Amino acid sequence: MTSLLTYTFKSLPSTSKWALRFCKLYLFFLFKISFGYVSVLHRHGIVLLFVSTLFCLPALRPLSSSSQLQAAAAVQTKSKKTLAKPNIRNIVVVDGVRIPFLQSGTSYKELMPHDLARAALLGLLHRTSVPKDVVDYLVFGTVIQEVKTSNVAREAALGAGFSDKTPAHTVTMACISSNQAMTTGVSLIASGQFDVVVAGGVELMSDIPIRHSRKMRKMMLDLNKAKTLGQRLSLISKFRLNFLSPELPAVAEFSTSETMGHSADRLAAAFAVSRSEQDEYALRSHSLAKKAQDEGLLSDVVPFKVPGKDTVTQDNGIRPSSLEQMAKLKPAFIKPYGTVTAANSSFLTDGASAVLIMAEEKALAMGYKPKAYLRDFTYVSQDPKDQLLLGPTYATPKVLEKAGLTMNDIDAFEFHEAFSGQILANLKAMDSDWFAQNYMGRKAKVGSPPLEKFNNWGGSLSLGHPFGATGCRLVMTAANRLRKEGGQYGLVAACAAGGQGHAMIVEAYPK
């Protein structure tokens, strides 16, 4: 596939008619600035940037400088059709919780992943009062596995007091691992195998496996097999100091050897996302997260008494700064001209989450009032070199088509924020007919989510991103927002390493 960096906007039509049409479009939206500037500019970011560059038209304010980025408007209650399908079980999420997401190297640094997962499970049991013996199955997602507890779902379940007769398994799909855990649970229930599944995810970046070098590992294994003193001495004589060089877990893509941050920087450049736009979006995320935290909207967070330490009650990565302070940071990946910095990137995070998923008839029989229906979902994958972080762009139109919905039907959008540049590039790609036609094989764009409905309670940039646990947070935030704001449909989407992505429709349960 042609590179995003080499297949530039030169491929766009350049006739005078085309230029005239888009100049008129530019002026039309400029005059409409008083009622919807932010949404308009965001929906037409690629076009306006190209036109203003080509014709030296005056540049508009950056998207995120508007006050709409600092406050989120309430979504109006709507009456729409339900997405229930004949002869298919309705599947609901009864409730979900997460322990506070903390920056790595802080209060959770002495623990193991199963400790965090167990805490999330105990929090879910306390929140829902579900009897342990009612749970048929558990599925957890994780990315960087602790070798001692490779099936962390099973170890966490046993630690939380679930029966040893209740099976559990662990899945991994990079940043959408807990999304995969949830949809695995949905599939198990939809197929009639089970009625009640607990799904979740966990990540502990404070203590990652660091291996000996391959040469050292080979020598140690051979020494273990050696039967005589002579064989052992012969092996030891081959030892060299460079054998002691450790192997750190790779942050880079295995298939491309490129770090995700480097890819995000290139993606931002390809879609002409400026450094100031990225910083402003990051500030938006932190400001909205702080507002949601102060107003008690992050109700999925449950306190966690860390052994030997104080009880942790809230996320510790929410830190609204100022654009002036953010502008002082140097590029983190492409130096010295890159635009991705520590301030507009998600940070290494420790955390765990869990949700209780049931067949609707089972939930009602047990007296529960579910939070939401889990409806259609999809997974996508594309070129990991140039489209590593474009999963939401590809997954969103697919899941909307499966559900028979349009972007206008969605009341709450919850997208994973790996980087500001990644989010803004996806929004531009989603609003580009050119990208849809040349890269996605679609006739027209799906459209960009309006910011007044988008990540209104913050996102991964501010709340944190424990790789294996973010998916459950996204779903529960969407469900809780729908209840709070009176909406009916939520759309959850996320990118993941390997060029993969996920999207799911969440439907509010009738009050």
Structural contact between residues 509 and 92, judged by C-beta atoms closer than 8 angstroms: yes
Average the pLDDT over 173-185 and give the result.
Answer: 98
Q: What are phi and psi of 72, to 5 degrees?
A: -110, 130
Kindly list the distances between the CA atom of residue 289 and the CA atoms of 66, 292, 301, 392, in Å, as whole numbers in the listed order.
17, 5, 13, 21
Phi, psi of 356 (to 5 degrees): -105, 115
First to last CA, the chain: 48
By the 8 A CB rule, do 349 and 103 touch?
yes
CB distance 312 to 107 below 8 Å: yes
Of 23, 56, 472, 495, catalytic: 495
Which of the residues 23, 56, 175, 472 is marked catalytic? 175
16-51 burial, b for 16+ CB within 10 Å, e for fewer? eeeeeebeeebeebeeeeeebbbbbbbbbbbbbbbb
What is the average per-residue pLDDT within 136-165? 97
Q: How far apart are CA 159 and CA 132, in angstroms?
A: 12
Strands (E), 65-192: 91-98, 102-103, 137-141, 168-171
How far apart, in whole angstroms, are the C-alpha atoms of residue 202 and residue 114?
A: 8
Report the alpha-carbon angle 215-220-172, nearest 5.
75
Q: What is the mean pLDDT of residues 364-373?
A: 98
User: CA 436, 440, 442 angle in degrees (round to 5)?
Assistant: 60
Q: What is the pLDDT of residue 502?
A: 98
Grade residue 133 by pLDDT with cuts at 50, 70 and 90: very high
Q: Supply the pLDDT for residue 26.
A: 40
Which amino acid does the sequence have at 188?
A: L
Q: Would you state the torsion angle of the CA atoms of residues 106, 108, 110, 113, taken in this order, to the nearest 10 degrees?
A: -140
* pLDDT higher than 50, residue 276: yes
The pTM of this model reads: 0.85
Residues 275-304, mean pLDDT to the nearest whole number: 98
Token pair 């809230």 in the structure block, residue? 314
Q: What is the arithmetic mean of pLDDT over 350-368?
A: 98
Specify the pLDDT at position 503. 98
pLDDT band for position 132 (50/70/90)? very high
Contact 446, 396 (CB under 8 A): yes
Average pLDDT, the chain: 88
* Confidence at residue 79, expressed as pLDDT on a 0 to 100 scale: 55
Output the DSSP codes for 330-385: PPSSSTTT----STTB--BEEEEEEEEEEEHHHHHHTT---SEEEEEEEEEE--TT
Q: Are 303 and 312 in contact (CB under 8 A)?
A: yes
Q: Which amino acid is at 13?
A: P
SS3 400: helix
Say how far apart CA 112 and CA 110 lie, in whole Å.
7
| Residue 23 is a catalytic residue | no
List beta partners, residue 348: 465
Token reading at 219 = 């020598």
Query: pLDDT by residue (tens digit) across 196-243?
Result: 999 999 999 999 999 999 999 999 999 999 999 999 999 999 999 999
Whether the predicted pLDDT of 477 surpasses 70: yes
Q: How far apart are CA 460 and CA 69, in angstroms?
A: 16
Query: What letters, b where the CB count within 10 A reaches 16 and e where it falls short, cover 241-253?
Result: eebeeeeeeeeeb
| Partners of 139 in beta bridges | 169, 199
| Class of domain 91-208+257-508 (CATH, top level) | alpha beta
Q: State yes or no: pLDDT of 74 exceeds 90.
A: no
pLDDT in tens, 10-68: 343 333 443 444 434 443 333 333 333 333 333 333 333 333 333 232 333 344 433 44
What is the distance between the alpha carbons of residues 98 and 101, in angstroms, rounded to a whole number?
8
Q: Domain boundaries in the chain?
A: 91-208+257-508, 211-247
pLDDT in tens, 397-451: 999 999 999 999 999 999 999 999 999 999 999 999 999 999 999 999 999 999 9
* Cβ-Cβ contacts under 8 Å for 389 (sequence gap 6 or more): 260, 263, 264, 267, 418, 419, 422, 425, 426, 495
Q: Which of 348, 321, 490 has its CA nearest to residue 405? A: 490
Lowest mean pLDDT, pick from 48-52, 71-75, 110-114, 116-120: 48-52
Residue ranges of E strands in 83-195: 91-98, 102-103, 137-141, 168-171
* More confident site: 78 or 245: 245
**Which amino acid is located at 10 in the chain?**
K
CA-based R_g, the chain, Å: 24
- pLDDT tens readout for residues 299-326: 999 999 999 999 999 999 999 999 999 9
